Structure 1
């Protein structure tokens, strides 16, 4: 089996650590480098070289970079992939318009897959929300998202993605956000009409589902030609 050579950008974050742990035990992956925002405390972790984002041009060769960082480090990560002609998987949220445009521009040269949520269930939920919105014109649509207290962006990137799906179906969307305890992630999309209510819910109890989804996307993406892809594309 040919291993997928992976760089993890945002290696010190919760998602980066989860991806590192799962990929290290998976026979299909070879982690060739870890990248952190600031200078790493150790230059080698588990026999894997570590770099700061300032040193990203010095990375060894790789097949795909998995980026779960902050918007401040996103540009350098994407630029490194374009320069090397390598695939880019990103779950970094809070991107501005210019960064989203950079993703689309990069897709002319490399395969890119950005998702606000790498859960397979959420990818299916997005499709269901679009269908429900189209089938229930005039109904109220509310999205309630709940996450742990350390999550910075609000509404969550996943809530906004689900909202765009509902808007595509014709709904007028309203959002509510809760930050409490150590909630991994819950998303409720509620359609309310006169005398009835439809609720579509996804609950994540283990962050590993996102890490496994990102690794699935990485392995799938490296075989694709240049272009912009979504998580749902990898499930077909």
Structure 2
């Protein structure tokens, strides 16, 4: 029975993770939050799950590397510097970082990539997401994941095509760009919609999360899958065989 340590255990996702671990054939060895020592947690765990904050990532990665155990990272709002840290850690341990651990969203990203590849750049792409009032980053990690899938389908990068801020007199839309809109309010667990808008027609595909438990179960599935894997950076698609 694999032992899981949770970083960010007092947060909404941390609490959801702790609640599902016993039902998924694993053991919760403990959890920490701001001020806690991830090194102590890692010593008794087979894998770490981190849903804390970007500022805590460096310490989490260091603890996992020193203990020689894998880490599943669901923290959003990461910068290129954080991703460089993850790449470096992945030379020593197995790491899975994702903006969304839902099976449905993982499949949605696959469909978005295929649709973007099939449609020309005269089809405009817009990604609309909504989350609860307490979410601190925008666009959401899931929206960015979907944007990256769309960009990959067009053999480009999100950095080259992303438009996330429209205010004032912005001018006409540039062909090939990928737009984002972020809504915040209430207790929404997570709604995402990808719109392909052509001349005279639209294709809309999306995902609605009705309960945070789906993310917790996806995260634990990924964490358990990581145990025993060789060093490297893995994806949810690999976990689910997509």
Q: What's the counterpart of residue 17 of structure 1?
A: 15
Per-residue deviation at 1:24? Answer: 2.8
Per-residue deviation at 1:168? Answer: 1.2
* Secondary structure class of the residue paired with 1:155: coil
Partners of 2:128 and 2:38 in 1: CA distance: 38
The answer to whether structure 1 residue 117 and structure 2 residue 115 are counterparts is: no
Per-residue deviation at 1:91? Answer: 0.4
Per-residue deviation at 1:133? Answer: 0.5
Q: Which has the higher contact order (CA 8 A, sep 6+)?
A: 2
Partners of 1:187 and 1:33 in 2: CA distance: 32
Partners of 2:143 and 2:91 in 1: CA distance: 28
Per-residue deviation at 1:202? Answer: 0.3
Partners of 2:105 and 2:73 in 1: CA distance: 16
The answer to whether structure 1 residue 33 and structure 2 residue 30 are counterparts is: yes
Q: What's the counterpart of residue 42 of structure 1?
A: none
Partners of 2:114 and 2:134 in 1: CA distance: 33
Pick one of 220, 233, 236 that aligns with 1:228: 233
Q: What's the counterpart of residue 145 of structure 1?
A: 129
Per-residue deviation at 1:223? Answer: 2.8
Where in structure 2 are there 5+ consecutive unaligned residues?
155-175
Partners of 1:58 and 1:233 in 2: CA distance: 30
Per-residue deviation at 1:30? Answer: 1.1
Specify which structure has the higher proportion of strand.
1
**Count of residue pairs the alignment pairs up:** 218
Where in structure 1 are there 5+ consecutive unaligned residues?
39-51
Per-residue deviation at 1:82? Answer: 0.8
Q: What RMSD over aligned residues (CA atoms) do the two structures have, in Å?
A: 1.0
Partners of 2:11 and 2:71 in 1: CA distance: 18
Tell me which stretches of 4 or more aligned residues in structure 1 moved more than 6 Å: none
* Secondary structure class of the residue paired with 1:83: helix
TM-score (norm 1): 0.90
Q: What's the counterpart of residue 161 of structure 2?
A: none
Partners of 2:63 and 2:117 in 1: CA distance: 40
